[in-house]
Structure 1
Amino acid sequence: MAPEVLHNKGYDYLVDYWSLGAILFEFLSGSPPFTAPTMEEVWVNVYHWQKVLERPVYTEEVDKEFNLTDDAWDLITR
């Protein structure tokens, strides 16, 4: 759910781009963009996404191919 929806502000088709970015993040990184022990904490993370969202970095040699490119990260965070 896009932050605009959580803010109870009006929203338009741009929230679909938010969803696309979240799906793209999970598709490329293998994990959801926002995780937490409880759903309430997940909503807080979505609400404050600019402070919470982190680019995943894989350091193990066998996993380095899964690091997001600069272009992919730029597309996700637009």
Structure 2
Amino acid sequence: MSDAVRFGSTDAAPRFDEEERLLGRIAGMLNLPVAVFRRGHAASSPDKGPTASECATMLAAFTRIRDPDARRECLAMVEGRAEA
């Protein structure tokens, strides 16, 4: 089954491909296999930081923010919380 059929639209295939490339780049930067971002992958323990699922959810939400100013505000908020 093709990605386009799976998503029910031929327009979804290019977006899926772009998301896969982005996920691959992020995984590469973190020196992790892409599989850790997939649903059903074993989660890390909470005392070791965020789970792969939490990271993937955060990244998915961030990619839906279209306003550049809103993205900057989001990053500033996350960075601020990381320092706390």
State whether TM-score is above 0.5. no
Given the two structures, how large is their TM-score scaled by the length of structure 2?
A: 0.34
Higher share of residues assigned helix: 2
Higher-RCO chain (CA-CA 8 Å, sequence separation at least 6): 1
